[in-house]
Amino acid sequence: MSLQSTSHENKVVLITGATSGIGLATVEKLKDVGYRPVLTGRNPDKVKSCAEKLNIPGYQLNVANEKDCARVVAAVEQDVGPIWGLINNAGIWLEGAFEDYSAADIRAVMETNTLGTMFMTHAVLPNMINRKSGAIINVVSTGALYCRKSISVYAGSKWAIRGFTGCMEVECAPKGVRVMGFYPGKVDTNMYSTAGIDRDLEVAMTPTDAASMIERMLTDEKILWGHVSGRSINDYM
Ligand SMILES: NC(=O)c1ccc[n+]([C@@H]2O[C@H](COP(=O)([O-])OP(=O)(O)OC[C@H]3O[C@@H](n4cnc5c(N)ncnc54)[C@H](OP(=O)(O)O)[C@@H]3O)[C@@H](O)[C@H]2O)c1
């Protein structure tokens, strides 16, 4: 581990959906630069093995369950320390014609991507406001910047978070808490294959690229990074 700065020491940052992809890369990056990342994920076996490998605290957390969110936030504050940062990263993909989706598909995407982000924000925010210090980064998507066919529910779940993030930015900044949105284009993760979608990710950015952008947003505290988007240059070729 290379500690590049001591200013992050003792800053606890909780990352949701951190057992793969952008979340796991963010945990690794934050650990590398000296934060105290707390890894969370919905699959207890994956949480255990990732947390043990990185030698950091890990908690089973399904963000779609508001009681789980409150329970884990309380446990982390007691076991590890005050949560200074939250990365709302957990998310799932859904693609296809809207009429073909089941009600369960729609519910799962909205509960994880939209309500999960709100439940976690709700759980950490009071203590951040009391301390007048904190940062929340919502991993949104370029899918919340434009409209296209076959992603209606996924895009809807993220457009809701775009609005939520923007409102929370202006509501929380005067209270000392930065609420920010990160809007990546394609990232080379399991998100599409988990949803049964075959996608060419050769042109995608890497999870480490995305994690570096998140780390910059978190660390440069004089800036409230409102809408940060990024896409691999190869995606334009
Ligand atoms: N990949 C892209 O091209 C891309 C582009 C723009 C935005 N994003 C966003 O980036 C975020 C991370 O996705 P990724 O690309 O890194 O995909 P990923 O590798 O599939 O990671 C998603 C993570 O979220 C977890 N998760 C799913 N539902 C959850 C729940 N209810 N509670 C807690 N954790 C849950 C997954 O756990 P399991 O492993 O147990 O399923 C997984 O660890 C998502 O919000 C996604 O929408 C991705």
Question: What is residue 9's predicted lDDT score, i.e. its pLDDT?
Answer: 74
* Model pLDDT for residues 210-226, shown as the tens digit of each residue: 999 999 999 999 999 99
Point out the ligand 1 atom lying closest to the alpha carbon of residue 25.
Answer: 16
Question: What is residue 167's predicted lDDT score, i.e. its pLDDT?
Answer: 98
Does ligand 1 have an atom closer than 6 angstroms to the CB of 205?
A: no
Catalytic residues: 154
Does ligand 1 have an atom closer than 6 angstroms to the CB of 90?
A: yes
Which of 16, 22, 193, 232 best tests ligand 1's pocket when mutated (most atoms within 8 Å of CB)?
A: 22
Amino acid at 203: V
Task: Report the predicted TM-score, pTM, of the whole model to 2 decimal places.
Answer: 0.97
Does ligand 1 have an atom closer than 6 angstroms to the CB of 89?
A: yes
Question: What is residue 3's predicted lDDT score, i.e. its pLDDT?
Answer: 42
What are the sequence ranges of the domains in the chain?
12-236
CATH number, domain 12-236: 3.40.50.720
Query: Which amino acid residue places its CA nearest to atom 17 of ligand 1?
Result: 191
Residue numbers in the chain where pLDDT is lower than 70 = 1-7
Question: What is residue 155's predicted lDDT score, i.e. its pLDDT?
Answer: 98
Question: What is residue 120's predicted lDDT score, i.e. its pLDDT?
Answer: 99
Q: How far is the CA of 89 from the centre of ligand 1 (A)?
A: 6
Does ligand 1 have an atom closer than 6 angstroms to the CB of 156?
A: no
Does ligand 1 have an atom closer than 6 angstroms to the CB of 151?
A: no
* Model pLDDT for residues 189-199, shown as the tens digit of each residue: 999 999 999 99
Q: How far is the CA of 130 from the centre of ligand 1 (A)?
A: 30
Does ligand 1 have an atom closer than 6 angstroms to the CB of 42?
A: yes
